[in-house]
Amino acid sequence: MPEPAMTAHRLLEQMNAGATTAEEIASQLIKKAEAAKTLNVFVHLDPDHILGQARAIDARRKAGQPVGPLAGVPVGIKDLLCVEGEPTTCGSKMLKGFKPPYDATVIARIKQAGAVLFGKCNMDEFAMGSSTENSAYGPTLNPWDASRVPGGSSGGSAAAVAADLVPLALGSDTGGSIRQPAAVCGVVGLKPTYGRVSRYGLIAFASSLDQIGPFAHDLKDTALLQAVISGHDPRDATSVDAPVPDYVAAVAQPLDRPRIGVVKEFFGAGLDPEVAAAVEAAVKIYEKAGATIREISLPHSKYGVPAYYLVAPAECSSNLARYDGTTYGHRAEDFSPKYPGEENLPPLLRMMMASRSEGFGPEVKRRIMLGTFALSAGYADQYYNKALQVRRRIREDFDRAFTEVDVLLGPTSPTPAFKLGERTANPLAMYLSDIYTITANLAGIPGISIPCGLTKSGLPIGLQLLAPAFAEETLFRIAAGFERETDWHLKRPHGG
């Protein structure tokens, strides 16, 4: 039996050759997940259901029936993607015990592709955070150093791949929530173009920013999963009806002298010197491989964080208004008056207030209040509408840049993984973890993080590439040129 710490494409080769089975792989990974329980990667793991899926794939393969492109490959699922009949909680007490009556479109597509759904991965509550410390189920630990965070909000998905508990995982990216954890966990993470992947069945944080994407160890695996989940979906009004290129073929294409823009604003104050050195070394590798390198300015990127933290909370305030204890989710048992004046409120309103107070964690409450304020009468023009104008300027900066270069390059995260608890008392320091990733979401363009180094203390460093809308094929081709020249994607925690 081969060690399932391998890539999805290697596992597929071995299963197709009869060297192993989906059940053997799943069984070994279940044992591995049990042994790695202290990492707190999974919030829900059902071994019997996992093995049942694997046996069904094995039976189809043995009978010579058609199997999909992910047949028998385990895939970790971020806990905000609806899976029919399976707990889906968004890392929140508010949705504890909720079991959706339907599958998200991406879940339906990976099921059709033959994947084995391998547990629900931990996350920051309602995808709000950069460290996976905001989960109602406790923090996930970074497999490279258990005293550090795995990034967020998709930290459980990134850590699951980094720890070789699954070869593939799905996450979501609202302001960097795939790319930043991918960087600090030493794996590949792709945020596709807004509209490339259906958001139907994704429990929303900020609807104009959220996008679902893959985690993997290498670009071939990333392309394999991205190809399965991409494409138009009539159930999502923002899903774009555009052809899906052959991403796996793009990974195998030669580099072909790309034009790469190094973003000047991504190398300012706050950038860790070791991260800067690793990214500068990556630029030299590209230059040696024949790329044309030039410096590019994105002048409005400095306004990305403030604009994002008005737009995203405003949308979150609207999206999370539905969680009021009336139809599903957490309902407070005691909603007797607790503060002066509450006795004059109707019981239904007191129940809603108590349910939301108990069900949401501090970060979610902070963002709901910020968003509600930004949308309130007299302040919308001053804050929210101004943020939308800045968002347009940011998009225009990217549009201009892509007339001169094929992709933009810079660090994914300003620092390696930070210590657990280091930024929990300082929301601004936490928000700045996504300073280089937020602008791609505001502009709706695709971005990828690939491993590009390790610090002296052995922590992963990520390189970010950004491309024009719907140019994921370009991202794969240019990222693969770097991957072929280096072995960072082969590194594992503790030298594994």
Which letter does DSSP use for residue 418 in this model?
A: P
Which letter does DSSP use for residue 419 in this model?
A: B
Q: Using the predicted structure, report yes or no on whether residue 495 has a pLDDT greater than 70.
A: no
Radius of gyration, CA atoms only, the chain: 22
Residues sharing a CB contact under 8 Å with residue 213, sequence separation 6 or more, in sequence order: 170, 171, 172, 173, 178, 189, 190, 191, 192, 197, 226, 229
Task: From the candidates 131, 153, 301, 355, give the one annotated as an active-site residue.
Answer: 153
177 is catalytic: yes
pLDDT score recorded for residue 131:
98
As a whole number, mean pLDDT of residues 271-286 equals 98
Task: Please report which confidence band the pLDDT of residue 328 belongs to, taking 50, 70 and 90 as the band edges.
Answer: confident
Strand order through the sheet with 42-44: 42-44, 116-121, 74-78, 168-173, 211-216, 188-191, 447-454, 460-466, 407-411, 259-263, 292-296
Nearest to 265 by CA among 130, 377, 385, 410: 410
Task: From the candidates 92, 177, 230, 301, give the one annotated as an active-site residue.
Answer: 177
Task: From the candidates 78, 93, 120, 491, give the one annotated as an active-site residue.
Answer: 78
For the chain, domains (ranges, CATH) are 8-253+481-495 (3.90.1300.10), 325-385 (no CATH)
pLDDT, tens only, 76-108 = 999 999 999 999 999 999 999 999 999 999 999
153 is catalytic: yes
pLDDT score recorded for residue 173:
98
Q: Using the predicted structure, report yes or no on whether residue 476 has a pLDDT greater than 90.
A: yes
Residues above pLDDT 70, as percent of the chain: 99
Cα separation, 23 vs 58, whole angstroms: 7
Cα separation, 97 vs 87, whole angstroms: 6
Nearest to 251 by CA among 225, 227, 220, 224: 220
pLDDT, tens only, 383-423 = 999 999 999 999 999 999 999 999 999 999 999 999 999 99
pLDDT, tens only, 218-242 = 999 999 999 999 999 999 999 999 9
Q: Beta strand pairing status for 211-216 and 168-173?
A: antiparallel
Q: Are 314 and 287 in contact (CB under 8 A)?
A: no
* CA 485 remoteness from chain centre: 26
Tokens, residue 305: 């964080």
Task: Please report which confidence band the pLDDT of residue 342 belongs to, taking 50, 70 and 90 as the band edges.
Answer: confident
Place of tokens 């010579």: 64
491 is catalytic: no
Q: Using the predicted structure, report yes or no on whether residue 3 has a pLDDT greater than 50.
A: no
pLDDT, tens only, 20-66 = 999 999 999 999 999 999 999 999 999 999 999 999 999 999 999 99
